[in-house]
């Protein structure tokens, strides 16, 4: 027994899960098994959060593939994207990069070193404090992050094509409400 949606897929055919559950997916099979094996537990959160976790794994793979096509690792894209989003002159302090990418100070120093070695960023003296530096996106860094972002957005659009515009907006609103307490 599954707990999947009775709604048919576009075209009138019922959805089929990889595990063979008509009208459901793998999570429906997992939830049904837990309800059978541990009926004393309310496993309803699994119906949402197991899907979020599975989608996160698919999204990680999709992103790695999009970035690999531009010879970038995910962490490299994260740093370059933070600089690109900063607006002209596309530079941030190492401390600002820490906040933007959620990594430790030693990790960021290593990442900036590696990106500078590839010519994607450069360190510049901070005009407000000569003892400090700013990390600036180079023209090469800007070109590669822009191209990787274009490919990523295209792939993410394909991933969400199963939803209409209003469904995507509603999902974004719901996910924002769930994730807001964990944000900085």
Report, as an integer, the average pLDDT of 57-70: 95
Q: What percent of the chain has pLDDT over 70?
A: 87
Residue 150: what pLDDT?
A: 97
Asked if 82 contacts 101 with a C-beta cutoff of 8 angstroms, the reply is yes
The pLDDT, as a whole number, for residue 78 is 96
104-123 pLDDT per residue, tens: 888 899 999 999 999 999 99
H/E element holding 124?
strand 121-126
Residue 140 — very low, low, confident or very high, per pLDDT cuts 50/70/90?
very high
Contact by Cβ (8 Å): 89, 122:
no
Q: Are 98 and 112 in contact (CB under 8 A)?
A: no
pLDDT at 23: 67
What pLDDT was estimated at residue 24? 86
Residue 13 confidence (pLDDT) = 33
* pTM of this structure: 0.77
Cβ–Cβ under 8 Å, residues 66 and 78: no
Is it the case that residue 1 has pLDDT exceeding 90?
A: no
If pLDDT is split at 50, 70 and 90, which confidence band does 15 have?
very low
Comma-separated ranges of CATH 1.10.10.10 domains in the chain = 60-176
| pLDDT of 4 strictly over 50 | no
Quick one: pLDDT band at residue 8, thresholds 50, 70, 90? very low
What does the pLDDT average to over 65-94?
A: 96
pLDDT tens-digit readout, 17-35: 444 445 689 999 999 999 9
Tell whether the model's pLDDT for residue 142 goes beyond 90. yes
User: Average of pLDDT values for 131-137?
Assistant: 93
- d(CA 152, CA 67) in angstroms, rounded, equals 8
Torsion of CA 57, 59, 65, 66, to 10 degrees: -160
pLDDT over 90, % of the chain: 77
d(CA 134, CA 153): 28
Pick the CATH number of 60-176 from 3.40.50.970, 1.10.10.10, 3.40.630.30, 1.25.40.10: 1.10.10.10
């Amino acid at each position: 027994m599954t707990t999947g949606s009775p709604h048919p897929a576009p075209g009138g055919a019922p959805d089929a899960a990889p595990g063979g559950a008509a009208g459901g997916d793998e999570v429906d099979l997992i939830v049904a098994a837990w309800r059978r094996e541990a009926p004393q537990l309310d496993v309803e959160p699994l119906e949402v959060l197991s899907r979020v976790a599975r989608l996160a794994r698919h999204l990680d793979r999709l992103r790695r593939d999009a970035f690999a096509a531009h010879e970038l690792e995910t962490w490299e894209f994260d740093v370059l994207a933070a600089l690109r989003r900063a607006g002209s002159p596309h530079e941030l302090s190492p401390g600002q990069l820490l906040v933007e990418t959620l990594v430790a100070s030693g990790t960021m120093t290593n990442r900036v070193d590696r990106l500078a070695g590839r010519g994607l960023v450069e360190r510049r003296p901070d005009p407000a404090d000569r003892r400090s530096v700013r990390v600036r996106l180079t023209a090469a860094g800007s070109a590669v992050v822009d191209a990787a972002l274009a490919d990523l957005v295209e792939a993410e659009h394909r991933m969400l094509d199963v939803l209409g515009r209003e469904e995507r907006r509603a999902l974004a609103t719901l996910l924002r409400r769930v994730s807001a307490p964990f944000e900085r």
